Amino acid sequence: MRRLLLLAPLAAAALAVPGAAWAHATLQRTTPGVGARLPVAPRVVTLSFDQSVRTLPNGIRVYDTAGKLVSGVARGVPGDPRSVEVALRRLPKGAYTVRWSAISNDSHVGHGVFTFGVRVKAPALSQAYGASGPTASEHVVRWLYFICLALVTGGLGFRLLVLRGDATPAAERRFYRLTGAGVIGALEVGIVAFLLRAQDALQLPFTSFLYGDLSPFAHDTRFGEAFVAMELGFAFVAALLFLSWLTGRRSLLWPAFLLSLGLGSGLSLASHQADDRGWLPSFADWVHLSAATLWIGGLLSLGLVVAGDRALRRTAFWRFSEIAGPLVALVVAAGVYMTFERFPALDDLWTLGYGRLLLVKLGLVALALAWGAFHHVVIRPRLDRPAVANRLSRSLAGEAAVAVSILLLAAILVDSKPPAKPAPPRAATGIAPSNTVLQAPIRP
Amino acid sequence: MQPPAEHVHWLFATGILFLGLLLLAEAVVGREVWRRRRWRAYLWPALLFGLGVLMWPVMVLFTNSTVHMLAHSAWAQVMMLAGAAELGLVSGRLRHEAWRLCVPLMLAVSGAAFLIHEANPWLYSRSAFVHHLCGWILLVGAIFPLGAAFKPRSWVFAGGYALVMVAVSIALFTSRDVAPVFGHLDPAAGVQHR
């Protein structure tokens, strides 16, 4: 207790100090604009801030896709203390990355990155020069996100479509706990996923990253737009879920369920399937994801929500096995379509790392399907036997564990780069196709 | 798409002012009288929960630094948590008295987030001053709902909590994006626009 009392003034002092120590400038405008596609090569890059800034000679660095520096020495703009600029060499057609650092008058440094294109589309920030690819922690975070999505969407679907009006008070309590944990997890993990992806592009040490400008990433990338929509959506789902719990109105769960189903499209629109291939691949991706979250979330709910009540579990098992079949059919159909869409050649499946990972995932899906079929054909008719009913929980836990492993592989696949489609013949104008993939070397 | 920060401050100042006035009314007339109409018990917790939901758009729109984003996210979450806990207690869905600690937790976390996310010193500009002021009011003011959690009938704690919210709302109403405070505006802050 005495230690705590001693620490209290120190903590108060620590809170007072940042005000004096962390002053920084915020970028307000850039020329060229963030993500701009310019018809003519610019001669300078100008950054305007909300307060006076200085820059070091290498404070603004502009790189082409090969990592060649195409900018000169950064300097202040005469007559405008809040702006800095750098002159550029004559830029040929191509994509460019601007990395900047600026010092506010009180000696504190802000950082950022953005891209632009000269007569080509600007690359996504995740493909800026110097950006790194997804790390193992990002795979884990995306996996957790998928699990949260399954808990929310699958949990709500289970409550509305499987349990319907038959939930006991204990099952109701467990449902709200499980789905509540899922929606809170979706909000928190969503923030972590966004910050990790932004850090890939910014490539800053932690303390500098705290003051890194995330706006270009949040508002000018598909991933950022999906993050914005999904955070807002899940906050609303959380509010609806809470109000349903508070008032006991099950009808409030319907909008929460439909909204969480729709929010899955955010992930689809930010995925490889949305790379200039029309709406059908994105739609297939959404169907695949939605059916999978309903199936896996339903399995988890079957094991956790109705675990203590044998009669309710029997009813829920019967009803769930009736909707699990169509869900699995949707997962498989959409998955097969996306595989054909994604792999230009069949041997990509075993010659490329991405293909081999997909084969492992397909193997696990086959195992889960066999397990589900065993439940449907063998267990379901024998549910009244006490010995079978006693072992059901363990069997369900096994199937759910396989399903959660599938989500891990799905997370790694989503973060990985699928094989590139053969490039269409060049247009007569010589303008590069809009789905050109920029292979930027990784240099931290 | 992104509104000026001062507009967001004023929007939340309005909500927090209503919150403070409701709390003040309850403190003045006493909890028993205030709750003779059952719906009145739900008013301020529902408003607090709603303000938490409204903070999420602010979180995703103001991403000019990681620390700003995290601060707005912390406010959104603790306001929703505190509002939800109070609504649960009022409705009888929650019974454990420990849930009353969510409100002091909200004030302490909000105050710390104000102080940590403000990058500039007190007299740098008016908005910096307001952030520091709100941070310390909330951090110190957490004592009142903390006391009220243990002595729910104390008018001192109830009134103190209400006045903390009113004081924060007044401070937020004075916020301007670039404006002097006590005649002082740091040259690095930019040109006064109002």
**What digits encode the pLDDT tens for the residues A269-278?**
776 655 656 7
The pLDDT of residue B131 is 95
The pLDDT of residue A38 is 93
Please answer yes or no on whether B49 and A191 come within 8 Å at the CB atom.
Answer: no
CATH number where B52 lies: 1.25.40
In CATH, which of 1.10.150.120, 2.60.40.3080, 2.60.40.1220, 3.90.1150.10 is domain A23-127?
A: 2.60.40.1220
CATH code of domain A136-415: 1.20.1630
Q: Is pLDDT larger for residue A215 or for residue B156?
A: B156
* Separation of alpha carbons A46 and A97, rounded Å: 14
The pLDDT of residue A424 is 54
Interface of A with B (CB under 8 A): 15-16, 18-20, 22-27, 50-52, 82, 104-106, 108, 110, 187, 191, 195, 198, 209-215, 217-219, 227-228, 231-232, 235-236, 238-239, 242, 245-246
DSSP state of A154: I
| Domain-embedded: residue B194 | no
| % of chain B with per-residue pLDDT over 70 | 98
Enclosing domain of residue B29: 5-189
Q: Give the residue extent of every domain in chain A.
A: 23-127, 136-415
Average pLDDT of chain B to the nearest whole number: 94
The pLDDT of residue A16 is 44
Could you read off the pLDDT of B14-58 as tens digits, one per residue? 999 999 999 999 999 999 999 999 999 999 999 999 999 999 999
Beta bridge partners of A88: A71
| Domain-embedded: residue B91 | yes
A219 confidence band (pLDDT: 50, 70, 90): confident
**Average confidence (pLDDT) over A416-443:** 46
* Number of folded domains that form chain B: 1
**Position A169 pLDDT exceeds 90:** yes
In whole angstroms, how far apart are CA A342 and each of A194, A272, A275, A425?
25, 9, 11, 19
**Position A220 pLDDT exceeds 80:** no
Please answer yes or no on whether A191 and B188 come within 8 Å at the CB atom.
Answer: no
A236 neighbourhood in chain B, CB within 8 Å: 53
Could you read off the pLDDT of A187-197 as tens digits, one per residue? 999 999 999 98
Q: Are A412 and A100 in contact (CB under 8 A)?
A: no
Q: Are B20 and B169 in contact (CB under 8 A)?
A: yes
Look at residue A224 and give its three-state secondary structure.
helix
Could you read off the pLDDT of A330-367 as tens digits, one per residue? 999 998 888 888 787 788 888 888 888 899 999 999 99
Amino acid identity of residue B15, one-letter, is G
Amino acid identity of residue B55, one-letter, is M
* Separation of alpha carbons A146 and A295, rounded Å: 12
The pLDDT of residue A218 is 85
**Position B80 pLDDT exceeds 80:** yes
Of B57, B112, B119, nearest to A23 by CB-CB distance is: B119
B47 neighbourhood in chain A, CB within 8 Å: none
The pLDDT of residue A437 is 33
Number of neighbouring beta carbons within 10 Å of residue A423 = 11
**Average confidence (pLDDT) over A408-425:** 74
A211 neighbourhood in chain B, CB within 8 Å: 65-67, 119
- Cβ burial B151-189 (10 Å sphere, 16+ → b, else e): eeeeeebbbbbbbbbbbbbbbbbbbbbbbebeeebbebb
The pLDDT of residue B177 is 82
Please answer yes or no on whether A235 and B118 come within 8 Å at the CB atom.
Answer: no
